[in-house]
């Protein structure tokens, strides 16, 4: 079965700093999904990447997909306290509908 | 435009009791997925259902757990004879399409089950 490994597991950055979270798959990626979870709440969909080399941005968050490396990265520019939370990557295995998720990266942004 | 609705938000049960968790998908979505998140662990897939059908239950424990998604009404995740190890956050997600389509899953806020 597919496994997704995220790094780092946790991250503390000062407000205004940039940061990158990585997600590496044990198998070929058929679409990669990034979600954010705040404590005690559900997952909020951020972005979906489908093709190798694809890059998407939403506000200060940019995600890229490297199909050959079976890896995706999420980059936050000029982090703010509102970016704090747990970031999860998810992927489908083949044609399956369910998403398998990584273990998450816990982000704290200090003032 | 209501999102995925789960209730209750918090549920406390004593060992041996039954827990029923409800999930109403987003309007127009006919595919429902249940996930479990244990403390300090990742999100684990449990079951995938379409209306009146279980499509994939590869993540469901073999005993005490069942799920349904009737023609009318919400999807129900049922846990019989709960044990302390069942304490977790249970999330429901929905999508408008299923296999082969790259639509994202939309999640509810979860039900936090505590077994005392």
pLDDT digits (tens, 9 = 90+) for B48-67: 999 889 999 999 999 999 99
- Find which of A38-47, A96-105, B17-26 is predicted with most confidence, using mean pLDDT: B17-26
Which of B42, B98, B101 is nearest residue A101 as measured by Cβ atoms? B42
- CB contact (8 A) between residue B99 and residue A97: yes
Count of A-B CB contacts under 8 Å: 61
**Nearest neighbour of A95 by CB, restricted to B45, B95, B100:** B100
Q: Which residues of B touch A48 (CB under 8 A)?
A: 102, 104
Mean pLDDT of chain B: 92
Long-range contacts of B39-44 (CB under 8 A, 24+ apart): B39/B87, B39/B88, B41/A103, B42/A88, B42/A101, B42/A102, B42/A103, B42/A104, B43/A43, B43/A88, B43/A101, B43/A104, B43/B91
State how far residue B4 is from chain A, nearest Cα, in angstroms.
10
Q: How far is the alpha carbon of A96 from chain B, nearest alpha carbon, in Å?
A: 6
Taking residues B71-91, what's their average pLDDT?
A: 96
Both tokens assigned to A28: 């070929």
- How large a percentage of chain B has pLDDT more than 90? 78
At A83, the pLDDT band (50, 70, 90 cuts) reads very high
Write out pLDDT tens, residues A12-63.
999 999 999 999 999 887 789 999 999 888 999 999 998 778 899 988 999 9
């Amino acid at each position: 079965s597919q496994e997704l490994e995220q790094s780092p597991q946790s991250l503390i950055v000062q407000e205004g700093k940039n940061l990158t979270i990585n997600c590496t798959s044990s198998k070929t990626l058929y679409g990669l999904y990034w979600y954010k979870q705040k404590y005690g709440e559900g997952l909020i969909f951020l972005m979906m990447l489908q093709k190798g080399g694809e890059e998407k941005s939403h506000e200060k968050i940019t995600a890229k997909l490297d199909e050959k490396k079976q890896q995706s990265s999420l980059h936050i520019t000029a982090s703010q306290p509102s970016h704090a939370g747990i970031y999860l990557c998810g992927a489908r295995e083949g044609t399956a509908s369910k998403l398998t998720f990584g273990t998450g990266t816990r982000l704290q942004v200090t003032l | 435009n209501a999102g995925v609705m789960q209730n209750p938000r918090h549920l406390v049960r004593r060992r041996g009791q039954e827990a029923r968790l409800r999930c109403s998908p987003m309007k127009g979505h006919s595919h429902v997925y249940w996930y479990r998140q244990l403390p300090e662990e990742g999100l684990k897939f449990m079951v995938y259902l379409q209306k009146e059908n279980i499509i994939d239950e590869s993540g469901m424990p073999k005993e005490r757990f069942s799920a349904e998604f009737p023609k009318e009404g919400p999807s129900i995740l049922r846990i019989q004879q709960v044990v302390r190890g069942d304490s977790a956050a249970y999330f429901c997600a929905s999508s408008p399409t299923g296999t082969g389509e790259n639509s994202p899953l939309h999640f509810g806020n979860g039900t936090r089950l505590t077994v005392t």
